Amino acid sequence: MKNLYFEDFEIGMKVESAARTVTEADIVMFASLSGDWNPIHTDAEFAKKTIFGQRVAHGLLTLSVVAGLLVRLGLTERTIVAFYGIDKLRFTNPVFIGDTIRAVLEVVGKEDKEGKPYGVVVYDIKGVNQRGEVVITYTSRAAILKRRPQA
């Protein structure tokens, strides 16, 4: 399933990505890029004294990893017009160094933009760790997608 058009998505369609392990290097690089050097992410001794007992990945790093896993699927690589937005974002469990995350996408809505060369596809997205725990959940209206060209 590559380069799907608006018409190709059906409500109830589910897709699961490959998995990716979050590393210490990921956290350090994200802290450097974002400027978020909060010690809960970057100071092992500080993090030992928190409710988590160890360093945790940035929530926005987790969001970025899940988004990247979905992009790797290639579903809309050549058909997406724009990223529209995220609703109901929640970080439901911590992500630790060494956790392996996969993304699960379910199509929950379609918005037909009458007379426009595109439509909006609405997804419920979950990031799930190796223990089957949901670590992030959100609704995405990210896909403003091209319509299938007329033959």
Neighbouring residues of 40: CB distance < 8 A, sequence distance ≥ 6: 46, 47, 50, 52, 55, 56
Query: Does residue 57 lie within any of the structural domains?
Result: yes
Query: Does residue 115 lie within any of the structural domains?
Result: yes
Q: What is the mean pLDDT of residues 67-76?
A: 95
CATH number at residue 55: 3.10.129.10
Query: Does residue 104 lie within any of the structural domains?
Result: yes
User: 81-91: string of b/e by CB count within 10 Å (b at 16+)?
Assistant: beeeeeeeeeb
Neighbours of 118 (CB within 10 A): 19
Stronger pLDDT, 76 or 150, i.e. the higher one: 76
Structural domains of the chain, count: 1
Query: Does residue 119 lie within any of the structural domains?
Result: yes
Query: Does residue 91 lie within any of the structural domains?
Result: yes
Q: How far apart are CA 16 and CA 14, in angstroms?
A: 7
Q: Rounded mean pLDDT of the chain? A: 94
Q: What is the mean pLDDT of residues 23-28?
A: 98
Query: Does residue 2 lie within any of the structural domains?
Result: no
Per residue in 107-136, pLDDT (tens digit) is 999 998 888 888 999 999 999 999 999 999
Q: Lowest-pLDDT range, 17-21, 31-35, 78-82?
A: 78-82
Looking at residue 117, its pLDDT comes to: 87
80 neighbors 2 (Cβ within 8 angstroms): no
Q: Which residue has the tokens 């992410």?
A: 41
pTM, two decimal places: 0.92
Domain that holds residue 19: 9-146
Query: Does residue 151 lie within any of the structural domains?
Result: no
Q: How far apart are CA 22 and CA 57, in angstroms?
A: 8
Query: Does residue 35 lie within any of the structural domains?
Result: yes
